[in-house]
Chain A
């Protein structure tokens, strides 16, 4: 430190530095603790039997195969809907919309959607999909609720990457006599694949961790079904199963096993998002 700095200033600087270091240490320590604690408690509980059987009250067996399948189904179903909707909305905003007020309204709506808590999505999903559209409590109703929830995510990531498609590409295509739709199909959409993929990865992460929105829309059942049959019947995803096992049944071993699985998947998704981002950035810089 330079000479000629008063004691008061020195004290202030030292204090602020210590506080910053403490905060960073606390944050990093917290993550380290959470990950190791959940892994240490959960990994030993994972067994082949747990992963490949379904629960039965008769034999007292606990298995999470149905919950794994339900999670996969709900992710696939939600992505099938959310990709065209979110990407389409982004294309409209970036390529078609000329009315600035309308754009502002749509963007405000997307921001509002991303701020709404999941319990409210669950409630409206229950009222609209389960009761009004008569889907009952089913994975499909849950998936559609999640579609609304993840719409802003896919919209935003696609929009970001649309903005990086050079304007000259579009002009070149128009100049060659292509129509608007042809330009979008052959020039614009291929240019924003990275945004759509990033949006998908983020959505998968969010769906994987979602529970409050699914409690009343997708239900708690633990039956093994095929894909289409599964969509029409109620079923718990991994997170909902974790909640039920921990809170209602006191089966903390299973709960930690699921938590460990979720933690591993979360880390993998995090990694995937990072790698995809890096890959596309490299490709773009070339």
Chain B
């Protein structure tokens, strides 16, 4: 049935079954058909390999363009240098502020977004009446569809002035504003993945718990949630990936100054460091931006590996 297996084809002739008598016309048309099928197979194989090609392309390009600056600056000085002054007379390229800002910002967004998203997911998956579930699920998917620049715009005009007046700081464009925006942006991923995990918990577990006298709410949190923990962990990791990779919304609310991270100060993330200087950069500065992207990419690969680990475990459970 599967024509492209060339080995077998060479051993046993499909028409004659190995004998020497060949009906000439049928043979020719069959061989043509076979060649055509093989060609089609080749085309689809190529299409199938395109995703792999794209990943390789991205990886190779980032490594090739990211390594030179790291070699010139020195890996240690690059990763752990505390000052970024790319346009100064004696430029300094330390990206520790960006790395730490990205980590703190992501951690903050997770701390804020995960509890809300998790509790929403438990309610929607287990406790909500069908109508409420339909409406709130639709609302969550709207949240997922809103473009990041719109989040940035609303953040700029609502959140930033709000932070300035509530906390009496000179400028509201700060790490805190970025954390709040990121927390909102990761909410849909966390809710949706958690719901999927919670809905996959076998009904028998919950029935057993209820039969033993636990109330529904206790069952949700003491039985369903522990049973779905791998899936929920995957949701959190997915949120981490979303938060660390977000650029535009963060750029619009975080002030974009290369400070060491502090809640009420203007900060710059790994993503925004790349985006903000790329348009006018040149020479070593430009190469250093590629190196930042490489660092970001390594973070993402790590997160992806973790995500895969949790997803696999939740499938096995």
Which residues of A pack against B, CB within 8 Å?
1-2, 5, 9, 12-13, 16-17, 19-24, 26-28, 30-32, 34-35, 37-38, 84-85, 88-89, 91-93, 95-98, 102, 105-106, 108-113, 115-124, 126-128, 148, 151-152, 155, 174, 179-181, 205, 208-212, 215-216, 239, 242-243, 246-247, 252, 255-256, 259, 262-263, 266-267, 269-270, 274
A270 surroundings in chain B (CB, below 8 A): 138, 141-142, 145
Given A93-B48, A267-B142, A243 contacting B149 (CB threshold 8 A): yes
Q: Is B301 an interface residue (CB 8 A)?
A: yes
A109 surroundings in chain B (CB, below 8 A): 51-52, 54-55
Q: Which of A88, A115, A123, A152 contacts B44 (CB 8 A)?
A: A88
Residue of A nearest to B245 (CB): A117
Q: How many residues of B contact A (CB 8 A)?
A: 88
Given A88-B48, A110-B51, A115 contacting B37 (CB threshold 8 A): no
Residue of B nearest to A115 (CB): B304
Tell me if A181 and B36 are in contact (CB < 8 A): yes
Q: Which of B40, B136, B157, B191 contacts A252 (CB 8 A)?
A: B157
Of B16-24, B163-171, B195-203, B246-254, the one touching chain A: B246-254
Tell me if B290 and A263 are in contact (CB < 8 A): no
| Alpha-carbon distance A173/B140, docked complex (angstroms) | 43
Can you report 10 A-B residue pairs in the complex whose CB atoms are below 8 A from each other? A12-B218, A20-B120, A27-B191, A37-B154, A89-B51, A112-B304, A115-B300, A119-B274, A120-B293, A180-B41
A269 surroundings in chain B (CB, below 8 A): 145
Tell me if A239 and B149 are in contact (CB < 8 A): yes
Q: A27-B117, A128-B61, A148-B54 are in contact. List 9 more A-B contacts (CB 8 A).
A: A27-B140, A28-B135, A89-B48, A123-B274, A127-B61, A174-B1, A216-B278, A239-B149, A262-B150
A239 surroundings in chain B (CB, below 8 A): 147, 149, 248
Q: Which of A21, A98, A242, A267 contacts B123 (CB 8 A)?
A: A21
Tell me if A34 and B123 are in contact (CB < 8 A): no
| Alpha-carbon distance A89/B53, docked complex (angstroms) | 12
Given A113-B55, A127-B65, A23 contacting B275 (CB threshold 8 A): no
Which residues of B pack against A, CB within 8 Å?
1-4, 33, 36-37, 40-41, 43-45, 47-52, 54-55, 57-58, 61-62, 65, 115-120, 122-124, 127-128, 132, 135-136, 138-143, 145-150, 152-154, 156-158, 184, 187, 191, 215, 217-218, 220-221, 241, 244-248, 251-252, 271, 274-275, 278-279, 290, 293, 296-297, 300-301, 303-304, 307-308
| Alpha-carbon distance A131/B140, docked complex (angstroms) | 39
| Alpha-carbon distance A102/B154, docked complex (angstroms) | 45
Tell me if A205 and B145 are in contact (CB < 8 A): yes
Q: Which of B37, B50, B128 contacts A151 (CB 8 A)?
A: B50
Q: Is the interface of A mostly helix, strand, loop or mixed?
A: helix
A32 surroundings in chain B (CB, below 8 A): 139
Given A180-B37, A216-B279, A117 contacting B51 (CB threshold 8 A): no
Tell me if B47 and A246 are in contact (CB < 8 A): no
Given A113-B55, A119-B274, A247-B252, A209 contacting B218 (CB threshold 8 A): no
> Which 7 A-B residue pairings sit nearest by Cβ, starting from the closest?
A117-B245, A209-B147, A88-B47, A92-B48, A23-B119, A92-B44, A31-B139
Most B CB atoms within 10 A — which of A16, A21, A97?
A: A16
B142 surroundings in chain A (CB, below 8 A): 31, 35, 266-267, 270
Q: How far is the CB of B114 from chain A (nearest CB, A)?
A: 11
